[in-house]
Chains A and B, each alone.
Chain A
């Protein structure tokens, strides 16, 4: 009995404690989120104004921080004199120069960040100091990007929010605000066509048109907080993060040492850097669009090899196209060709694999893939021809039955005439 009563009291006690804790927390939260600054600043014009709406979408505000977290002062006081007193630590406008350190005062503090988001990294400032932006900043260059230039200030959103300036879909635009501005970039003597080039690239197409958020944007290759151009030696490493096979094959290829000796930056040598277009089969070979001919001269061993590889690719591509054309012609005539059409995907697979195999720059691996593809297209072409044969058979059948019908009609005509002659 006693035990039972004990446990009841015990539970009751626990309930009271939990309730008190909840109420207390609520009160604290209420006290913390009191933000008297907005009472005035939401009515002020730019640059002093911050609307309630903008502020409400700020990730810091959503986590319960007030303006005072960055600007100092006392946001709980309704008296402007007290709220914005230097005594209360009020800082007013934050100088650009101070921004990275101010952000780092929390974001480099693992203990503090754990409370909000335990999985968030705390090395951004460390990385920033290794970046070109950070190094110039350290030397007192006030024009280079600091945290707020990319992340925003009062409208700062979590990077996972599609409206955030650092959401994958917006990153390139964010970088381009400075890097595509010729006037702004003049002192640094670097090109400003990267964004325009990127916009024509297959990577941009994957990101924006196909909506693939894992497609590369500026930061994928250059890094974000530690943004630096990858050096000649590292380009292949960067590309191979995604293009594993091509990189592996390239490492075994004769080009590896040749490019290294000539100081060529791996992949970029043929595919360019920002304007990476979807590769075509014309890129290899000795034709006018072939990148091989940038180094090789017509008739040398390399160009012969390139031409042989080009021929293998185009042979398979045209064999696939021929089967496709025949099969779709048969399909348009109402013939059943879904099985060979399914088989065609195997040939397409082979072509895709062959296009990867190009990167070994030897025709042995390539030939294996293209031969497999050609064997498949032979089968599908025969199937297409059979379907067309069946279609012709139908026409012959129709013709035959029409002849028989005509014969019967003539017979009937004679018969009726005879019947009515008497």
Chain B
């Protein structure tokens, strides 16, 4: 837009100037366009929604109802640590931190014992996360479970 009056203002240049003028115009034009593209590129990428779904506050999608059966469990990601979602034989859902309070191994559900078990040093927890035998000094942190439609969400227990 602004180039129209400029070319008219600088009309009748010396013939030797012409290639230099073209060079400057090309340099400026490419520079402007390319730098604008380099600013726009990150912005456009930013606008693309990320593949990994948002954490949705402090609640985490732990599993879908279809994945779970009575007397099974699933390990899910809770922030930067693993969590354990258990469906008891009675069909209740329990969720707790899966990090053993002894030396930090990841605990697992033992369908045969109906208890939570740490394979590293044979620590045992009951389905409320209480340490019942072996070396664990403290219970596992219990989480709150909410079922919304087909999805099971887990969140930290709110202190009253």
The interface of chain A, by Cβ under 8 A from chain B, is 206, 210, 212-215, 242-245, 338-339, 341-342, 345-346, 348-349, 352-353, 356, 397, 400-401, 404-405, 407-412, 414-415, 418-419, 422
Contact = CB atoms under 8 A, between A and B. Distances in A.
Contact of B28 (A215, A353, A415): A415
Interface in B2-31: 6, 9-10, 21, 24-25, 27-31
B39 interface: yes
A243 B42 CA distance: 55
A422 B10 contact: yes
A356 B134 contact: no
A408 B135 contact: no
A317 B15 CA distance: 75
Say whether chain A's binding surface is mostly helix, strand, loop, or mixed.
helix
Nearest to A210: B137
Interface of B: 6, 9-10, 21, 24-25, 27-32, 34-35, 38-39, 42, 77, 80-82, 99, 103-106, 119-122, 134-135, 137-138
The 5 closest A-B pairs by CB, nearest first: A408-B31, A411-B28, A212-B137, A401-B38, A404-B35
Given A338-B80, A342-B80, A408 B9 contact: no
A346 to B, nearest CB: 7
Contact of A214 (B27, B31, B137): B137
A405 B35 contact: yes
B27 A407 contact: yes
A345 B104 contact: yes
Contacts of B119: 349, 353
6 contacts: A244-B121, A345-B99, A400-B38, A411-B27, A415-B28, A419-B10
A338 B25 CA distance: 48
A401 B32 CA distance: 11
Given A245-B122, A418-B10, A407 B31 contact: yes
Given A353-B105, A411-B28, 14 more contacts: A244-B121, A341-B80, A345-B81, A345-B104, A352-B105, A356-B120, A397-B38, A401-B35, A407-B31, A408-B28, A409-B31, A411-B24, A414-B27, A418-B10
A123 to B, nearest CB: 24
Query: In this complex, which of B6, B21, B104, B120 has the most chain A Cβ atoms within 10 angstroms of its Cβ?
Result: B120
Given A215-B137, A349-B106, A342 B10 contact: no
A410 B27 contact: yes
A410 B120 contact: no
A414 B20 CA distance: 10
Nearest to A339: B77
B75 to A, nearest CB: 10
Contact of A342 (B21, B30, B81, B104): B81
A411 B120 contact: no
B82 A404 contact: no
A418 B22 CA distance: 12
Contacts of A214: 137
Contacts of B138: 212
Contacts of B106: 345-346, 349
A17 B28 CA distance: 107
Nearest to B9: A422
B20 to A, nearest CB: 8
Contacts of A405: 35
A342 B77 contact: yes
Given A342-B81, A342-B82, A414-B24, A401 B39 contact: yes
B133 to A, nearest CB: 9
Contacts of A422: 9-10
Contact of A404 (B31, B81, B121): B31
Contacts of B82: 342, 345
B121 A356 contact: yes
Contacts of A401: 35, 38-39
B121 A243 contact: yes
Contacts of A210: 137
A404 B38 contact: yes
Nearest to B17: A418
Contacts of B42: 397
Contacts of B32: 408, 411
Contacts of B105: 348-349, 352-353
Contact of B31 (A213, A338, A411): A411
A245 B6 CA distance: 87
Nearest to A401: B38
Contacts of B122: 244-245
B28 to A, nearest CB: 3
A346 B108 CA distance: 12
Contacts of A409: 31
B34 A407 contact: yes
A419 B134 contact: no
B81 A414 contact: no
A44 B29 CA distance: 103
Contacts of B25: 415
A345 B42 CA distance: 34
B104 A206 contact: no
Contacts of B9: 422
Nearest to B98: A345
A408 B138 CA distance: 64
Nearest to B79: A338
